Amino acid sequence: MNEIRKNLPIDEQIAILKRGVVDLVSEDDLRRKLERSIETNTPLRVKLGADPTRPDLHLGHAVILRKMRQFQDLGHTVIMLIGDFTAMIGDPSGKSKTRPPLTLEETRANAESYLEQCKLVLRQESEVLELRYNGEWLEPMGYADVIRLASKYTVARILERDDFTKRLSNGVPIAMHELLYPLTQGYDSVALHADVELGGTDQLFNNLVGRALQRDYDQEPQVVITLPLLVGLDGTEKMSKSLDNYIGLTDEPHAMFAKLMKVPDTLLNNYFTLLTDLPETQIAQLLAGHPVEAHKTLAREVTRFFYPDADLDAALERFQSVAKGGIPENIASFNVSKTDANAEGTYPAARLMVLAGLEASLGAARRTITGKGLKVDGQPFLEPQGALSIPEGGVVIQKGKDKFARMLPES
């Protein structure tokens, strides 16, 4: 076990592990497991299951990954369980309709990106990290095995889930495979002999099913810990790429820093608690002071975790410059080929946005321009079908407040 942390008093360990937690079932069980772990010098097995339905992670995912890291730093083994098999079912948690299943190839492709980004948070030593795929034990199961598993839980208990209850009352169909999902996820805990399972608050029911199934399989029930869903930069919805209110784990340091500077004041305490290790007394002092200083501290603490060597003074200067309407010095440059020009020798603005990676398609670029989201050399550009001349020194195109690219003519 980790020599630095393993000798912390149990109360201190529990205080670390309880930070930011919504549900803990139960604290007595956790204390007992931690005490036995120390007595026997045997690390706990801490499970996090993830269906890789999307390949990109953001700070909302980092909340639970940081809790895993805390277990690692206390010397325990965390199990990153990739639900390659369950993703083909589609987790119905929180969904108002049946979720489209993925193919096994899709889930495994997403998993590669998912795991690579998890490494930004988790320690990689083999004694504290175990990677597993639930297809190992679920794919070989036969029909008789599924029937035996289904006999362990009643329909009435499954239908206690809020999302199932709402769908029934609204006359929205529930497919049989969705009813099996909580059992399938719960069986993962049996297969892994998990001591603890982590999840978001939307996973409480599924994780408690795992706790119940372990009893049925004569195992000691796992401790269930849930963490809140991080609210996004819009201040109203959970962080989500689809809502464009997210901070990506792979955002460049200056971009991550700038986005953290824009966290709504009302969410500062939440972000400090869930994304930093600052003591609660220091957080309280920061929140009692000027919000700008609190934002600077938050941006530095979180960005430094992902980019220990980043020049955060430069990131702050860049943010302040952009906030005043300026153009940063260090921005990406792109050489534009003459083949991208039209007959008049000018370059369609939408095409330049795509070439610079500011938009994924011409249609998206034109919509951005229509919505007044493009500037050229600091001035609004409002013609979705318009084109630009590119002088020898180039032009700077800007999407939104802080996405820049310098477009240079082909030499």
Spell out the residues 6+ positions from residue 126 whose beta carbon is closer than 8 angstroms to its own.
none
Spell out the residues 6+ positions from residue 107 whose beta carbon is closer than 8 angstroms to its own.
51, 52, 53, 82, 83, 84, 87, 88
Q: Which of 208, 262, 195 is nearest to 47 (CA)?
A: 195
State both tokens at 78.
């965390």
**What residues form the annotated binding site for ATP?**
241
**Overall fold of domain 10-227:** Rossmann fold (3.40.50)
Please list the residue range(s) of the chain that carry CATH number 1.10.240.10.
Answer: 253-323
Which CATH number does 253-323 carry?
1.10.240.10
368/60 Cα distance (integer angstroms): 26
Per-residue pLDDT of the chain (411 residues; tens, 9 = 90+): 444 466 789 999 999 999 999 999 999 999 999 999 999 999 999 999 987 666 678 999 999 999 999 999 999 999 999 888 877 665 544 444 444 566 667 777 777 778 888 889 999 999 999 999 998 999 899 999 989 998 988 888 888 777 788 888 888 888 887 888 889 999 999 999 999 999 999 889 999 999 999 999 999 999 999 999 999 999 988 898 778 889 999 899 999 999 999 999 999 999 999 999 999 999 999 999 999 999 999 999 999 999 999 999 999 998 988 888 888 877 889 999 888 888 888 999 999 999 999 998 999 999 999 999 999 988 999 999 999 999 988 999 999 878 899 999 887
Q: Which of 329, 328, 383, 326 is nearest to 353 (CA)?
A: 383
Q: Do the Cβ atoms of 8 and 37 come closer than 8 Å?
A: no
CB atoms < 10 A from the CB of 11, how many? 9
Please list the residue range(s) of the chain that carry CATH number 3.10.290.10.
Answer: 333-409
**What residues form the annotated binding site?**
241
6/339 Cα distance (integer angstroms): 63
CB atoms < 10 A from the CB of 263, how many? 25
Please list the residue range(s) of the chain that carry CATH number 3.40.50.620.
Answer: 10-227
State both tokens at 121.
């948070």
Spell out the residues 6+ positions from residue 94 whose beta carbon is closer than 8 angstroms to its own.
163, 202
For domain 333-409, the question of CATH label 3.40.50.2000 is answered with no
